[in-house]
Structure 1
Amino acid sequence: MNSVYFDNAATTPMYREVVEVMSEAMLNSYGNPSSTHHLGRKAKVLVESSRKKIAEYLNVLPRELVFTSSGTEANNLVLRNAVENLGVKKIITSKIEHHAVLHVVDNLNLKFEVEVEFVSLNENGEVDLSDLQDKLSSTDVPVLVSLMWVNNEIGNILPVEKVSNLCREYNAIFHTDAVQAIGHFNIDLKNTPVDFLVGSGHKFHGPKGVGFLYANGKYNVKPMILGGGQERGIRSSTENVHAVLGMQKALEVSLVNLDEDLEEIKKLKLYFIKTLQDSIPDVRFNGSSGNLEESSVTILNVRFPFKDKMLLFNLDLQGVCASVGSACQSGGAKVSHVLKEVLEKEELDFSSIRFSFSKFSTIDEVDFVMGKIIKTYSLVRNRK
């Protein structure tokens, strides 16, 4: 059966170069980086070389990067440190953050009674900067702002520089979950300063099970995991050498022809939007995902003008790999917490699906997917 993978926001296929780098490391650089013999020193050098290269990509100091097992762990490390170590008494975030942030914030609220405020959003899920400023200007306790760079469901791009400027103006700590942005944007943290930033290797064609935290050097980050004292005492656990090398290689390859790659993905997304609009009257795009300037070119969240709880499941049977937008179309009962915030109740009843692309996606694949969607749409209309 032919198959099309349009679920790159969930995870991406690894570059061949990444697989080669990781295979080489597993075969020949298997020493423990904490060991003092030559194989341990070799592994240590490779890890630190990767750290230096990733730091160069972000225009930060190597010592400001901490390798973790995932973006989720890195978010936990930031948020818990903010409250337990940096004296934060209030967290300002949004209701459409990833659960790797929201569930941690909920836990901190219960455990430490830290105050939580949610910034207002407009009908497309965009952050209301005036409301953020009001919240920052009216607080008299240490505060952390946690807002994701690119929303993983609707693709909205945060105006990071404006948020950064507000945080600096009101002496707030700024944390951004950037797992959907790293490898998809040219990011210079000297020109757009944030205090904490999180990345995850498998979102930009690297391996799963490895991520990193950028922590501004002025903050003293304490460990969440105790044991061996690796990563300068910030993150105990033997370094995942081959995964770290694979993540660095993936970021390197992603940035080589980034502008050209993004332009091609933009053309594909525009073609998909136009084809959907031409083929299915009243189709809608959730959040700002239909706006090529306000959303990531890699994400399109589509709301169809019909109700079919089995839509995602049926598309999967026809070879289309995508993800749920609103309700779990494969039969589950949960509704997307993101779409609950940006859609009216009656809009939530319609079938929504997130399609997400990469540099490997093609126009022919869009045509394949459209053929399956049109077939399904015809069946739904005939049932009425």
Structure 2
Amino acid sequence: MSNSFTRALGGLALGLLALTSCKKTESLSITAAPQPSSHPITSTTLSGNLKGTLLSSVGTYTMSGDVHVALKDTLYVQKGVTINVTNNSAFFVDGNLIVEGTAASPVTFTSPLNKKGSWGGFQCDSAQSVSIKWAHINYAGGPNATGSPRGTIRIAPKSPKQHIKVTIQDSWLLSGTDDGISLFGGGVVVDIQRNTIGDEGTTDGDAINLKSGATGVVAYNVLWNGAGTAIKLETSPTVLYPQTNVTVNNNTIVASGYRRGAGEPGRAISADKFAQGAIFNNLIVNDYYGLDINPVADVKNVIYGYNYFYTAVDSTRKNFYPAGSIGKPQPTDIISTSKTDKDPMFVKLSATTDPSQGVDPNDYHLQAGSPAKGKGNPTYNNDIGAYTSDDKGNKH
């Protein structure tokens, strides 16, 4: 979600940050990943308290009401399982969620209505751990009790001393009504890699929204047609510990930020409100704004370079590093000066900047001879963007 703030607080808060940096680091408890539960779930209708294993051999389940995974319990989903969610139901996770699809047999969470906001997504505010691999998660974001849209995957630990491991890999998050992945409060250790996240939000909503102490890696993701910002890093304007500090590398970000409107358009990548980060090798194409490093970020600890900026929309070319940003073009960046200059050479890129809802007509793999190949910071990858010449990149 978008957040306005008062820049006048920046100087005071940065001063407080300097003071707090001298304090002794507090100890943190880290929740270990659980072993998969062996209790088989054979009933094909799901609701209420649930623990155990959703079975490949059963195949398809219908979720008719909210599912609650209690503290210390584990819900394990085997490869190939499909869960059809009805009645705007949601997963509420206080324990552990493990989704183990494979490339050949992904897991699917969807709604038979096949439209945005049809079910409530994963509400994991008190989860002990979340691991989702090779899963399709479609049409989430249905309203909560107050009528507000819900994020597809939301995690907000109650204590900053509780570190929660969040792994989301090789999955597809498509056509939610709000944030795709939103992590608020406490200490969350993220491993968000090789996903495709598209068409998230309506007039607002970020693809990946990391706040208030998140640390880890966001890499090799394809992010397209988000309403707001594709990757947002923030801490807090008032609570400076723990700081958000995330490595953001080799993401391909296309056509983000338009639906929020000109008043506060979305960014491809934003470092805001006392966040730290390392931002390298990202391929930023046809986005309303490019890389925004806000003056109230922890500017001395935001490092960046080797990013690639291209647009076919002349009016947005000036926004690669938007006005008011501390960020400046780097000698290692690749920056297009016209529609015909430094085209990244996707296999297919249509003229539109706003693909129709839930359907992306493009193919963001790089053709042979692309200027993005071999131009990355080798600390992360020799190539720029999510699809790389080695075996580290996006598998979709």
TM-score (norm 1): 0.24
Relative to its length, the structure with more strand (as a share) is 2
TM-score (norm 2): 0.24
Q: Which has the higher helix share?
A: 1
Q: Which has the higher contact order (CA 8 A, sep 6+)?
A: 1
Bigger Rg, which one: 1
